[in-house]
Amino acid sequence: MRKALLIALLLAPSAAIPVVMSLAADVTPASEMPATGSIGKTEGLAAWKRVEAVLTHPRCANCHVGPDNIPIWTVAGEKKSRPHGMNIHAGESRIGAETIACSTCHMTSTAPNKLAHAPPHVGLDWQLAPVDFVWYGKSGAEICAQLKDPQRNGGRDATGLVEHLRHDADVNGFIPWAWNPGGGRETPPGTFEDHVKDVAMWGAAGQPCPE
Amino acid sequence: MDHITNISRRAFLIGSAALAGGVAFGTWSFAQDAVTDVPNPLLPGLGPNAASFNPWVKISPDKITLITPHADVGQGVASAQAILIAEEMDLDLGQFDTEFGPPSAAYWNTGLVNEFVPFTETDRSPAAEAAREGARKYLKESGLQITGGSSTIPDSYEKLRMAGAVARETLKAAAAKRSGVTLAEIRTQSGQVILPDGTKIPYGQLAAEAAQLPPIQNVTLRAPSQWRLIGKPTERVDIRAKATGALKFGIDQTVDGMVFASVKLNPYKGGALTAFDAGKAGAMPGVKKVLQITNGVAVIASNSWYAMQAVDAVECTWAKGSYPAEQAEHWAAVEASFSPAKVDKEWRNEGDIAAALKDATVIDAEYRAPYVAHQPLEPLNAIAIVRDDAAEIWVGHQMPRIVQSMVATLTGLKPEQVVFHNQWSGGSFGHRLEFENVRTVIEIAKEMRGTPVKVVFSREEDFLQDFPRQIAMARNRGVVRDGKIIAADMHFASASAVRSQFGRLGMPSQGPDTQIPAGIWNMTYAIPNYRATTYAVEGVSPTSSWRSVGASTGGFFAECFIDELIHAAGLDPLKARIAMSTIDVYRKVLEAVGEMSDWKGPLGNGKGRGVAFMEAFGVPIAEVVEVSATDKGIKIDKIWIAAEVGKVVDPVNFENLVQGGVVWGLGHAINCELTYSQGAAQQTNYTSHEGMRMYQCPPIEVRGLENGADIHGIGEPPTAISPPALANAIFAATGRRLREMPFNKSIDFV
Amino acid sequence: MIELTVNGEKRQTDVSPDMPLLWVLRDEFGITGPKYGCGIAQCGACTVHINGVAVRSCQARIGELGGAKVLTIEGLGAQSLHAVQRAWIDHQVPQCGYCQTGQIMQAAALLDKTPKPTDEDIDMAMSGNLCRCGTYVRIRAAIHAAAEKL
């Protein structure tokens, strides 16, 4: 009983983040989005392909895992990905509240990630993405369908997704970190700015998904 | 001299047998046997009204101190040594302090004799006894004070009880003199002498008078039935301080005015530093000085972290070391060593191996064991102060006298001008038999004359400077016919850790390395045609003793191959081993694990059990491992392990040490290897050299057997027997033979 | 100047803000219960509690800890032994003991949240703490024993 209550309390702030973000007045203006209809479907799909390459990259997908709540490691110098070492289970709380908190090792810090093989940190409390946002092991088409579904993307429309990226950067969050992970870690293709543009183009094209 | 040594050696052996049998209790001429003419090193520092009757006991009016000269690196020997003394001194736990004591030849290791000679424990032939005599003489004359080879208990078992008895009898004599009653009327209990009228005199009050008497050397040891401490669970002297954080390890020590240093040495071990640029490092926070030392640089700073950060920023150019740069070349060197010219020794040749290998289907298999790092959790460290007329060093080490003489050599001082303070160590596994921390701290302290210097190696530097466990291979051949093993022809090629280690100390070893054939020279199965040959691999990485030394590779090579032959013969792995046992006491060890595990043959359903048995460090030891093959990999479900040690001094510490030895052996067999690229170790932290973690550790059931005549230590044997037991279990569960460590190269683990 | 509370006492330091809490505790404050083992949160020997959460102190930059409440092994049993420490002694868990202060701090944090952990809970919570001596069997037993007493 006590355990269930604790998880709910701990989960609440992270679940609230998307809501707070999409309501926030000071996020990047919608003008970053190209005008609706200015991007054709072909161009939009091409933009999606680039987005997909980012979202399926281990640096991004490894913490967007399913209900087993086990993050994935892609360790610098190793050939294949594997479950997070040390028998880590982030739990239903997705922050390790049940047994060992992510924050036991992953600090909340805006300092650069310098040390190889040290647990990375960002300006937000370390956590798995909500379980509805699972990307790991999914096809591009599946992720695309999921990402444009407000039921499964934190209640965001196309503009909201771009705002989400900008807000995350403002708080030194997980998304820009992917392109500056430190410690010799591999990065997804392109840059954070490229990614924002691609998400915006895809959105302006009406969020087309591969067949 | 020889004559006296011989007599006393014989008395020692007879005494052992009698004691273990619990029949007779001889009188001991203590001083002659153990200390000879080496003066008691405790006497010079003795305070007023204090007494020391031998190198292990010190009594002052307010305190009783027991000296436990074997280094405690976690194996609990401070307690074990103290218990042996306290038993005979009639001291209760809590009535004494312990100290590691000074370096002294008085603490020469009598227990290593058997490790120096290639004869099985049970071999009492004239040749075996003569070899033991020679080893004993060597150890005694060289005053080799060393902790290692699971020898603390064999060394201490009788010697320290005698030391306690001498103290007790001398205190009684002092009380007799004071009170005028006869010795026979006096007894002792709980740190007090008790006179016939019931008067109780605490030992401390008798110290001044006892110091005036010559220590009573002819003492009678207690019968085991009278023991209060030995064989019973006791609270280790260090356990409380280790649970509260109060215990100071070497790395926790401070000396007033101390500065902090860290080092960066050539990762291509042994190579020189050719150039360095400390421009960036010198300007970093807290940095006081950047120094060039042998093979590298040191930074001195106002705390350890500043020193580590700055030394990491020093840009160095290195010369090459003396071994191949790439790992593949190391393996090639091992492979090339299986040649008649490289034979280190043919240890055994029984029956007609050549004929046996001719006329049947020969089973052959090649096995590999990689370099492995030691990496105890407390990294290398030391504190030293060098003055013009003296030096002082604080470091946890297993060879105190060699530390002392090394410091003397490096500083130009005499050994007696060097004060060595041994420290509690955060693990060793062989690492604290090396000297990189000693050498570097002295080189730095020489440059900082009069200022105490603490050096702490970063984990990465510690990995890079680690002299790993030997790399080794086996090429074994065997024949089975009619449900029997007819022949086994075992060939091991290995780097010689012992030669490498003692070579670095300028003590070249002579003759073949007795560690390389561990598991085959002392194999005790009845196999009619049997040969054991070893080859010494030269020109590879420097190596060092790693928990269980040769047995850590040899046990795997020998016991997995025997398992292959047993399987080919269609036999049950446990029953076949029991049937082939030639020594009763050893067979009982196998029977014990059979009973403990309720062994009934194959399990099915993706589960498998493996068994392995060997003699390691004189200890016959058997282990059964049960595994499941799951969709995520192999899961270890349960382990049963039994060992024959003559006498278990403390059952709780014994169980802990055996469980730890299993975890050490399995963890490294599953996921650790040290490989070289461009001359440097590629593994520099636990990320890539992990060992076992909690979730991988199954229940481990332990039994200590006491059927044998000889007393043995248990630090190392469980490590050696665990990898083959696991590999054999994996075969039983999956049908796959794992012939190379680490096993996770071939199969996934949960 | 950074101010924080360690084991109930106010402490100040003016070291580089990048310096990990571990080394501030050890070398600046002389609190040596937390140990240096790996420097990259692989071993857990440096575990302390920061504001009630178990943290690898080698990863916590001192510059970000202004006002924090830090509890080390020295503070855990300062009044009387914590149930976990008591169980560690009863079960004679430590061998070398170097990792054990971190193990104890991690176990105490687990029991704060999960007073009656299963073996599975223990295996999840404790697998970030390496014990090179291999005392895992006893750690597991001691945590269960401590849970019984709490």
A11 or B437: whose pLDDT is higher?
B437
A103 is a domain residue: yes
Which residue does chain C place closest to B245, by CA atoms? C33
| Contact residues, chain C, for B663 at CB < 8 Å | 131, 133-134, 136
Euclidean distance between CA atoms B502 and B116, whole angstroms = 14
A163 is a domain residue: yes
Facing B285 at nearest CB: one of C16, C20, C27 = C16
B545 is a domain residue: yes
Tally the domains of chain A.
1
Same domain, B433 and B543: no
Neighbours of chain B (3+ CB pairs under 8 A): A, C
Which residue does chain A place closest to B685, by CA atoms? A117
Q: Kindly state the average pLDDT of the residues B390-394.
A: 98
Residue B610, classed as helix, strand or coil, is strand
Residue B142: pLDDT band (50, 70, 90) is: confident
pLDDT value at residue B36:
52
Q: What is the sign, positive or negative, of the torsion defined by CA atoms of A175, A176, A181, A185?
A: positive
| Contact residues, chain C, for A108 at CB < 8 Å | 64
B36 or B471: whose pLDDT is higher?
B471
Sequence letter at residue B541? S
B405 or B3: whose pLDDT is higher?
B405
Neighbours of chain C (3+ CB pairs under 8 A): A, B
Chain-chain contact of A117 with C127 (C-beta, under 8 angstroms): no
Same domain, B159 and B12: yes
Q: Which tens digit of pLDDT belongs to each residue from B634-664?
A: 999 999 999 999 999 999 999 999 999 999 9
Sequence letter at residue A50? R
Please report which residue ranges of B114-216 form alpha helices under DSSP H: 126-142, 152-156, 159-179, 203-211
Residue B38: pLDDT band (50, 70, 90) is: confident
A187 is a domain residue: yes
pLDDT value at residue B511:
83
Same domain, B506 and B571: yes
Euclidean distance between CA atoms B651 and B255, whole angstroms = 38
Same domain, B302 and B336: no
Same domain, B678 and B696: yes
**Domain residue ranges in chain C:** 2-76, 83-149
B461 is a domain residue: no
Q: Domain boundary residue among B213, B244, B275? A: B244
Calculate the average pLDDT of chain B. 93
C67 near B CB under 8 A:
no
Same domain, B276 and B352: no
Token pair listed for B329: 């070349």
Same domain, B539 and B397: no
Interface of C with B in 120-149 (CB under 8 A): 122-124, 126-140
Contact B580, B391 (CB under 8 A): no
Distances (CA, A) of A22 to A11, A25, A150: 18, 8, 12
Strand partners, B47: none
Distances (CA, A) of B61 to B48, B65, B201: 9, 11, 11
ipTM over 0.95: yes
| Contact residues, chain B, for A77 at CB < 8 Å | 688
Same domain, B725 and B658: yes
pLDDT value at residue A31:
64
Closest by CA to C101, choosing from C17, C1, C26, C10, is C26
A210 near C CB under 8 A:
no
A70 near C CB under 8 A:
no
Q: Which tens digit of pLDDT belongs to each residue from A72-106?
A: 999 998 889 999 999 999 999 999 999 999 999 99
Chain-chain contact of B260 with C28 (C-beta, under 8 angstroms): no
Tally the domains of chain B.
3
pLDDT over threshold 50, residue B6: no
| Contact residues, chain C, for B641 at CB < 8 Å | none
Distances (CA, A) of B580 to B95, B486, B638: 50, 11, 26
| Kind of pairing between the strands at B51-54 and B57-60 | antiparallel
Calculate the average pLDDT of chain C. 97
| Contact residues, chain C, for B686 at CB < 8 Å | 38, 42-43, 130
Facing C128 at nearest CB: one of A100, A107, A109 = A100
CATH number at C2-76: 3.10.20.30
| Contact residues, chain B, for C123 at CB < 8 Å | 694-695
Euclidean distance between CA atoms B210 and B214, whole angstroms = 8
Facing C100 at nearest CB: one of B243, B659, B661 = B243
A181 is a domain residue: yes
Euclidean distance between CA atoms B322 and C60, whole angstroms = 41
Closest by CA to B729, choosing from B552, B606, B617, is B606
Which residue does chain A place closest to C112, by CA atoms? A99
Strand partners, B477: B364, B489
Q: What is the sign, positive or negative, of the torsion defined by CA atoms of C11, C17, C21, C25?
A: negative
Please check whether the two domains, C2-76 and C83-149, share a CATH topology.
no
| Kind of pairing between the strands at B619-630 and B607-616 | antiparallel
Same domain, B663 and B720: yes
Same domain, B629 and B658: yes
Q: Which tens digit of pLDDT belongs to each residue from A151-161?
A: 999 999 999 99
Q: Kindly state the average pLDDT of the residues B667-675.
A: 98
Euclidean distance between CA atoms B641 and B702, whole angstroms = 5
| Kind of pairing between the strands at B200-202 and B27-29 | unpaired
CB proximity list for A37: less than 8 A, separation 6 or greater: A204
**The CATH fold of domain C83-149:** DNA polymerase; domain 1 (1.10.150)
Sequence letter at residue C77? G
Residue B564, classed as helix, strand or coil, is helix
CB proximity list for B61: less than 8 A, separation 6 or greater: B49, B50, B204, B205, B207, B208
pLDDT value at residue B132:
86
Contact B451, B382 (CB under 8 A): no
The whole domain housing B498 covers 327-372+468-745
DSSP string, C7-51: TTEEEEE-S-TTSBHHHIIIIIS---SS--S-SSSSS-TTEEEET
pLDDT value at residue A15:
36
C69 near B CB under 8 A:
no
pLDDT over threshold 70, residue C73: yes
B462 is a domain residue: no
CATH classification of the domain holding B650: 3.30.365.10
B289 is a domain residue: yes
Q: Domain boundary residue among B244, B273, B291? A: B244
The whole domain housing A65 covers 40-204
A48 is a domain residue: yes
A29 or B214: whose pLDDT is higher?
B214
Q: Which tens digit of pLDDT belongs to each residue from B350-381?
A: 999 999 999 778 999 999 999 999 999 999 99
Q: What is the sign, positive or negative, of the torsion defined by CA atoms of B322, B327, B329, B335?
A: positive
Residue B321: pLDDT band (50, 70, 90) is: very high
Which residue does chain C place closest to A116, by CA atoms? C40
pLDDT value at residue B128:
87
Q: Which tens digit of pLDDT belongs to each residue from A8-67?
A: 333 333 333 333 333 333 444 456 888 877 899 999 999 999 999 999 999 999 999 999
Q: Kindly state the average pLDDT of the residues B576-592.
A: 97
- Could you give the angle at the alpha carbon of A69 between the alpha carbons of A67 and A70, nearest 5°? 130
Same domain, B429 and B517: no
Euclidean distance between CA atoms B152 and B148, whole angstroms = 7
Euclidean distance between CA atoms B35 and B104, whole angstroms = 10
Chain-chain contact of B685 with A117 (C-beta, under 8 angstroms): yes
Same domain, B414 and B311: yes
pLDDT value at residue B20:
26
